[in-house]
Amino acid sequence: MPTGRPSTLQDPAEIRTYKGQDRALRANRLGTAGLLLSVLAASAPLMVVAGVMPTTFGVMGIVGQPLLFVILGAVLALFSVGYAEMSRHVHNAGAFYAYIARGLGPTAGAGASLVALVAYSAMQVGVFGILGFEISGLFATYLDTEVSWWIPALLAVAVTGALGWLKIDLNAKVLGVLLLVECVLVVVFDIAAIAKPAAEGLSLHAFNPETLGGAGFGTALCFCIAAFVGFEQSPVYAEETSKPHIVVSRVMFLAVGFAALFFAVSAWALTVAAGPSEVVRTSAEAGPTLLFQLTESRLGTTFTDVLHVLFVTGMFAAMLSFHNVVARYAFAMGREGLLPATFGRTNAGTGAPATGSLLQTGVAALVVIAFALTDDNPAGDPTTPVLHLFTWMGSVGALGVTLLMAAASFAVIAFFVRRGTAGAQIWRLVAAGTSGLALLAIAVYTVKDFGVLVGAEKGSALTWVLPGIIGAAVVTGLVYGALLRRSRPEVHARIGLGNEAFRLDQAAEGTPSD
């Protein structure tokens, strides 16, 4: 068995046919446009404007949300400098945990892999809550029919799982069309809000740093980071892109820049339309209906009806995007031995990571059912899936992704220092270190303020149970990695290698590499 970690990738065709198993995802299936649309779809711009922004205003009381998006955009741009450079050297569907493993060691990579699965699964499952709420409202409004939120949520779980078996290029086209249409609608609202502001006029008060004060500041930071989630997923598709060393980094910077500008302007438009002094109260009363109330008074009923429909399709696009990412993380973990080997094989007909897709579908179904069973009054309290499933799970997922980004920043530094190229990469490493410290601070603030999000009194178990989900994933993953190092060192050595682990198999069995 070789003692070192291989540094070159094996031919994809050879990897695919090793022992008759599909060990690699299909290459050259995504270009710049397809990948950009796929990762931006995860942020679901309309869902952020209609769901995340009213929650940040109303629940957390942060008027300066537009300024938050500008600040976070700068932090994530710094993060992307090192992350993008790392993507040129490591191509692995388990992007976060692979980078962390290559920089901080396989045990840390094992911990990160479990955090990634939990975080992205939580974010996807959270979307089912707000989707169920919206579809239930559409049935009540247009068909005068009461439908409990969990029924359309479970149907969406099934449809998303089925599409998870399809080719990624088909999904990219579906996601892209939905994304473009909802972006256009949000821009139309922004223009209408500016053209017809509230009594306070075109106020820039929301960009005043003083508006960032409040008990919910930390949680608002984390919740707004959730709006950016998607840009960091581009390395997940590196094995499926053409020229990954160019396309992945390009898409990352385009996605961060677009999200920061788009969300800052849209959040400001909401404050202009509702009035800076009234946006917190109005958001708390209206919840996810805030955007639709503001559009109906400015753009009419027909536009608002179309917006409702696109709100649903935008959420569907986000669910599908998160589903694809979780399936690929599971595939990468199965290929390297962190999960059973069946997860490391693709669908023979489509090249999709089918077993990982089934895993995520099962997890989503179980969580939605659990929330449905514990909902005290599903029909009488339709906001439950928004306030609980969407907000809780979305924040848990955002906390996990924030910690992963912080760890990846430090892993970038360690990776290039160990390679002896720190001098040549010094400005990138400074950017990575700065962003890593900032992201770590955001995670600490988030845990500190988690009680604000759940509306819990001091000492409530919810203030530590929810962030404790990510803490438990970290500890469990690290313990699992340490056990693998002692009991299965050959599996431990694979963590983060991706297709490069194939050479370890060949060397161990005495198989020629060509």
CB 332 within 8 A of CB 322: no
CB 29 within 8 A of CB 241: yes
In angstroms, the CA 150 to CA 135 distance is 10
Question: What are the residue ranges spanned by the domains of the chain?
Answer: 32-497
Distance of alpha carbon 383 from the chain centroid: 23
pLDDT score, position 29: 55
258's enclosing H/E stretch is helix 244-274
pLDDT score, position 290: 92
pLDDT score, position 445: 87
Q: Tell the residue number behind the tokens 């759940």, with chain if given.
A: 454
Q: Tell the residue number behind the tokens 């020229």, with chain if given.
A: 243
314's enclosing H/E stretch is helix 290-336
Residue (of 345, 354, 293) closest to 324 by Cα position? 354
pLDDT score, position 63: 93
Distance of alpha carbon 36 from the chain centroid: 14
Decide which of 1.20.1600.10, 1.20.1740.10, 3.30.420.140, 3.40.50.620 is the CATH code for 32-497: 1.20.1740.10
pLDDT score, position 102: 92
pLDDT score, position 349: 65
pLDDT score, position 502: 53
The sign of the CA dihedral 87, 92, 97, 99 is negative
pLDDT score, position 208: 92
Helices (H), 24-167: 32-43, 45-47, 53-58, 65-87, 95-104, 106-142, 150-163
What are the CA-CA distances from residue 94 to residues 41, 163, 245 (Å)? 19, 21, 16
Residue type, 180: L
pLDDT score, position 194: 95
pLDDT score, position 377: 52
30 backbone dihedrals φ, ψ, rounded to 5°:
-135, 135
In angstroms, the CA 406 to CA 396 distance is 16
CB 291 within 8 A of CB 273: no
Q: Which residues pair with 30 in a beta bridge?
A: 241
Please, what are the averages of pLDDT over each run of 10 residues along the chain (514 residues)? 39 40 52 73 83 87 93 94 85 80 94 94 90 87 87 92 67 71 92 94 92 80 85 72 74 90 96 94 88 93 90 84 84 87 74 80 92 64 65 88 95 92 89 95 88 72 89 96 93 81 53 44
Q: Tell the residue number behind the tokens 């002094």, with chain if given.
A: 277
Residue type, 193: A
